[in-house]
Amino acid sequence: MSLLSVDTREKHRLTTPPPGAGDDDGPSVSPDGRWLAFSRGSEIKEISQLYLLELSGDLQPKGEPKQISYENQAHDSPVWTPDGRELLFISGMWETASLRRMLVSNGHAGKQQPLGFAGQYVGWPAISHQGQRLVYSRFVSTGWEIWRLETSANSGKASQPVKLIWSTQADADPGYSPDGKRIAFLSTRSGRREIWYARVTAPIPPS
């Protein structure tokens, strides 16, 4: 796994998985830039684990990655909450895939907690920088869809998940813009895999 500078186009390697360990995937840098969370494992074996790598001020690795999940199943798509205190991630694959959260403090991880509102067949969570919007992909009979959940900054209560983008084709792997008003996502609506974006100040109805 490598880091690419947007300004200089220079890149340097952050991680190298040991032989037979599978691939390093799904990188997510903490809001303070001190930690890199990622998944390491094999999609064929359907087993992967979450790791944390401490970073220096100039985003160089400090030591070796530390494993923070241990269940004998897939763990992937980690994403940090805006305060940097928790990771949201996907546990399991396909019909068992569910959304979970984990407290993280100074490189130490707490107990996993399931987030039942998302159900199963889910993937690729993303959180807006403001921290009040969560989007994720959900697999249904017609393919992948993108759903959203909103929380109140005052009460901390969450709304019911709602379908965010309608399409007759697959829409997946969403990511928020810095202002939280748009998302980029992977879609096959043109007949091939492409990156699309949409404004998401309100759910987008069928066209």
- Residues facing 3 on adjacent strands: 12
- Whats the size of the chain, residue-wise? 207
b/e burial code for range 117-129 (CB count within 10 A of at least 16 → b): ebeebbbbbbbbe
pLDDT given at position 185 = 93
Strand order in the sheet with 35-42: 23-29, 35-42, 47-54, 66-67
Q: Classify strands 182-187 and 98-105 as parallel, antiparallel or unpaired.
A: unpaired
Positive or negative torsion for Cα 161, 162, 165, 170: positive
pLDDT given at position 7 = 85
pTM assigned to the model: 0.84
Coil, strand, or helix at residue 19?
Answer: coil
First to last CA, the chain: 39
DSSP code, position 67: E
pLDDT given at position 162 = 85
Name the residue among 137, 131, 136 with its Cα closest to residue 152.
Answer: 131
Strand order in the sheet with 86-91: 75-80, 86-91, 98-105, 108-114
More confident residue, 62 or 169: 62
pLDDT exceeds cutoff 90 at 66: yes
pLDDT exceeds cutoff 80 at 200: no
pLDDT tens, position by position, 127-161: 988 767 888 998 887 788 998 887 654 434 567 88
DSSP code, position 135: E
